[in-house]
Amino acid sequence: MALSRDEIMEKVREALVDALGVDEDEVVPTARIGPDLGAESIDYLDIVFRLEKAFNIKIPRGDLFPDNILTSEEFVQNKKLTEKGVAELRARMPHADLSKFEQNPNVDDIADLFTVNMIVGYVESKLSGAAA
Amino acid sequence: MRWIWIDKFIAFEHGRRAISIKNVSLAEEHVHDHFPGYPIHPPTLMIEGMAQTGGVLVGEAFDFREKVVLAKVTRAKFYCHVVPGDQIRLEANVIGEIRMEGALIEGRITRNGDLVAEIQMMFAHLDQSRAPLELGEDNFVFTEDFIRMLRMRQLNHLEPPSAEHGS
Amino acid sequence: MRFYLVDRILELQPPGRIVAVKSLSLAEEYLADHFPAYPVLPGVMMLEALVQTAAWLVRVQTDFEKSLVLLREAQNVRYGNFVRPGGQLVMEVEAIEIGAGVSRFKAVGQCDGQQAVQAKLTLEHFNIGDEDPLRANLDAGLRTLLRERFRLVRGPQALAAQARS
Which contacts of B28-32 are long-range, i.e. CB under 8 A and separated by 24 or more positions?
B28/B1, B28/B84, B29/B1, B29/C1, B29/C2, B29/C3, B30/B1, B30/C1, B30/C2, B30/C3, B31/B84
Active site residues of B: 34
Per-residue pLDDT reduced to its tens digit, A20-77: 999 999 999 999 999 999 998 889 999 999 999 999 999 998 889 887 777 778 888 8
- Does C160 map to a domain? no
Query: Number of residue pairs across A and C with CB atoms under 8 Å?
Result: 7
The domain in which residue A20 lies consists of: 1-62+114-132
Q: Is the peptide bond before C15 cis (omega within 30 degrees of 0)?
A: yes
Q: C108 CB contacts (<8 Å, ≥6 apart)?
A: C91, C92, C93, C115, C117, C118
Distance CA B22, CA B24 (A): 6
Cβ C31 vs Cβ C125: under 8 Å:
no
Q: What is the CATH number of the domain that holds A129?
A: 1.10.1200.10
Chain C residue whose CA is closest to B34? C3
Q: C67 and B78 in contact by Cβ < 8 A?
A: no
Distance CA C149, CA C151 (A): 5
Q: Which residues of B touch C80 (CB under 8 A)?
A: 130
Reduced to 3 states (helix: H, G, I; strand: E, B; else coil), residue B65 is coil
Query: Binning pLDDT at 50, 70 and 90, where does residue B165 land?
Result: low
Cross-chain CB nearest to A40 (options C75, C78, C120): C78
Q: Which residues of A touch B128 (CB under 8 A)?
A: none
What average pLDDT does range A5-27 have in this prediction? Answer: 94
Q: How many distinct helices (H) and strands (E) make up chain B?
A: 2, 6
pLDDT at B166 over 70: no
Q: B34 and C3 in contact by Cβ < 8 A?
A: yes
Gyration radius from chain B CA atoms: 16
Asked if A57 and A120 sit in the same domain, the reply is yes
- Does C3 map to a domain? no
- Does C159 map to a domain? no
Whole-number pLDDT of residue A41: 85
Asked if A73 and A93 sit in the same domain, the reply is yes
Q: Where are the domains of chain B?
A: 8-154
- Does C2 map to a domain? no
Q: Is the peptide bond before C126 cis (omega within 30 degrees of 0)?
A: no
Chain A residue whose CA is closest to B75? A18
Asked if A72 and A128 sit in the same domain, the reply is no
Q: B140 and C38 in contact by Cβ < 8 A?
A: yes
Distance CA C10, CA B147 (A): 41
* Closest listed residue to residue B57, CA positions, set C61, C163, B66: B66
Cross-chain CB nearest to B2 (options C33, C72, C73): C33
pLDDT at B29 over 60: yes
Interface test with A, best of B68, B72, B98, B128 (most A CBs within 10 A): B72
Chain C residue whose CA is closest to A18? C76
Asked if A18 and A38 sit in the same domain, the reply is yes
Query: Number of residue pairs across B and C with CB atoms under 8 Å?
Result: 116
Give the mean pLDDT per block of 10 residues along chain C (165 residues). 95 93 96 90 97 97 95 96 96 96 98 96 97 94 95 86 77
Q: C74 and B146 in contact by Cβ < 8 A?
A: no
Q: A42 and B96 in contact by Cβ < 8 A?
A: no
Reduced to 3 states (helix: H, G, I; strand: E, B; else coil), residue A36 is coil
Interface test with A, best of B95, B118, B125 (most A CBs within 10 A): B95
Distance CA B136, CA A86 (A): 37
Q: Which residues of C touch B70 (CB under 8 A)?
A: 43-44, 79
Kindly list the partner chains of chain C, i.e. chains with 3 or more CB atom pairs below 8 Å.
Answer: A, B
Reduced to 3 states (helix: H, G, I; strand: E, B; else coil), residue C130 is helix
Cross-chain CB nearest to A49 (options B104, B124, B129): B104
Active-site residue identified among C8, C34, C106, C149:
C34
Cβ B120 vs Cβ B75: under 8 Å:
yes
Reduced to 3 states (helix: H, G, I; strand: E, B; else coil), residue C83 is coil
Q: C78 and A42 in contact by Cβ < 8 A?
A: yes
Q: C78 and A20 in contact by Cβ < 8 A?
A: no
Asked if A32 and A53 sit in the same domain, the reply is yes
List the 116-145 stretch of B: residues with Cβ below 8 A of A: 122, 124, 129
How distant, in Å, are the alpha carbons of C13, C93, C155, C157 from that of C164?
Answer: 12, 21, 14, 10
Whole-number pLDDT of residue B131: 46
Asked if A6 and A28 sit in the same domain, the reply is yes
The two beta strands, B114-125 and B68-78, are antiparallel
User: Mean pLDDT in chain A?
Assistant: 88
Whole-number pLDDT of residue A84: 86
Chain A contact for C115 (CB, 8 A cutoff): no
Asked if A82 and A95 sit in the same domain, the reply is yes
Q: Which residues of A touch B99 (CB under 8 A)?
A: 45, 61
Distance CA C49, CA C24 (A): 11
Number of domains in chain A: 2
CATH superfamily of the B8-154 domain:
Hotdog Thioesterase (3.10.129.10)
Distance CA C93, CA A124 (A): 41
Q: C30 and B45 in contact by Cβ < 8 A?
A: no
Asked if A41 and A77 sit in the same domain, the reply is no
pLDDT at A111 over 60: yes
Interface test with A, best of C73, C75, C76 (most A CBs within 10 A): C76
The domain in which residue C44 lies consists of: 8-154
Cβ C138 vs Cβ C126: under 8 Å:
no
Distance CA C155, CA C134 (A): 32
Q: Which residues of C touch A21 (CB under 8 A)?
A: 75-76, 120
What average pLDDT does range A84-103 have in this prediction? Answer: 84
Per-residue pLDDT reduced to its tens digit, B78-128: 999 999 999 999 999 999 999 988 999 999 999 999 999 999 999 998 875
User: Mean pLDDT in chain B?
Assistant: 90
How distant, in Å, are the alpha carbons of B82, B110, C50 from that of B46?
Answer: 9, 11, 16
Number of domains in chain C: 1
Chain B contact for C143 (CB, 8 A cutoff): no
Q: What is the CATH number of the domain that holds C98?
A: 3.10.129.10
- DSSP 8-state assignment for residue A110: G
Distance CA C106, CA C95 (A): 6
Whole-number pLDDT of residue A132: 41
pLDDT at B44 over 80: yes
